[in-house]
Amino acid sequence: MPKAKSTYRPKKKTHSVDAPEKTSGAAVRPLWSGTITFGLVSIPVDLLSAVRPRQTAMKLIDKEGHALGRQYRCSKDGKKLVNEDLIRGYETDDGKMVVITDEEFESVAPEMSADINLINFVSADQIPPVYFQKPFYLAPAGKSSKAYNLLVATMEHTGRVGIGNFVMRGHEYLVAIVSDNGVLRADTLRYADEVRTADSIGLPKPSKVASELVNQFSKSITELKRNELSAEELEDRDAEELQALVKAKQKDSSNVVHQHALESDDPESSSDGGAQIIDLMAVLRRSLSKRAVVTNAQSSTPISLDERRASKRATNAKPVIKKKARTRKSRKS
């Protein structure tokens, strides 16, 4: 084997846009761990986010610094809803709601897997930019990174992009694996039905343009032509001004409130006048009712929440009685 192939070095590119990341002391934790698989190849990797949210997001709090929670109300009568009242419904094109239970939802959920299964390799120009959704980095996992580096070099040499899918947190994602400056980047892709075409939006069809007008526009573009994109053009001016304002106001103690942790209260036991804080994770875990009746789009009817609560209380009452009876019997023995 020629020596040049065994001493591969990725092309070094200086991206000044990466400089702000160096100032952040927070470690980036893997969002997902698994393997890249195709044929007989299996490469362990960790998935890390390649982007972070803008520094302009602010939280809603009350005047005392308490974090606010989300409260659910019925859109028809304004009635407050507790966790047991929440179920999951699929809205059809004609506006009807079809109830889906947790068992039925799990039956159609993607099978859990720890593999990024690459189906094929295509040229990068075969993927329209509109399909790219969110970028991630794939870092080598395990004791050796030889296979990882070999895949990076091979994909860069061939100019190919791997197309595959993987499951993360119960959702299946379409993904493109790209060799990017000596590392692997994983870009989640939009599905075909998520992308609007120019015809579906109603954009005008392309028409012929006079060559004289094209030459005039070309001169204007040439005047602004640059060989490289400056990082200063990509800086977030709004975030910088907001952070400067925060630092200035932070010097005045009257403008600072101490944030309190989000508390979870029972909506049924709290008063009507006070703000009710709901544990969102608990809502999600119990959002599917095991006693919901599934109907089709033609026969879908409104669901009585009062009847569901009464049915649940009646069902839950029996196990409590049996448990007490077994407890008394064990004490006598």
Sign for the CA dihedral angle at 137, 142, 143, 146 comes to negative
The architecture of the domain spanning 3-55+109-196 is: Beta Barrel (2.40)
Which is nearest to 115 in space by CA: 73, 72, 175, 161? 175
Per-residue pLDDT at 93: 85
* Tokens 């991206």 -> residue: 15
Count of C-beta atoms within a 10 Å radius of residue 277? 19
CA dist., res. 277 & res. 87, Å (int):
19
Q: What is the CA radius of gyration of the chain?
A: 28
DSSP states of 20-69? HHHT--SPPPPSEEEEEEETTEEEEEEEEES----TT----B-TT-BBP-
Q: Is the pTM of this model over 0.85?
A: no
Structure confidence at residue 306 (pLDDT): 57
10-residue block means of pLDDT along the chain (333 residues)?
44 45 62 92 93 79 84 89 87 88 83 89 92 95 90 94 92 94 95 90 89 90 85 79 80 67 43 40 43 40 52 53 42 41
Q: What is the pLDDT of residue 323?
A: 42
- What pLDDT does residue 254 have? 63
Q: Give the pLDDT confidence score for residue 176 in this predicted structure.
A: 96
User: What pLDDT shows up at residue 225?
Assistant: 86
**Residue 314: predicted pLDDT:** 62
Q: What is the pLDDT of residue 28?
A: 80
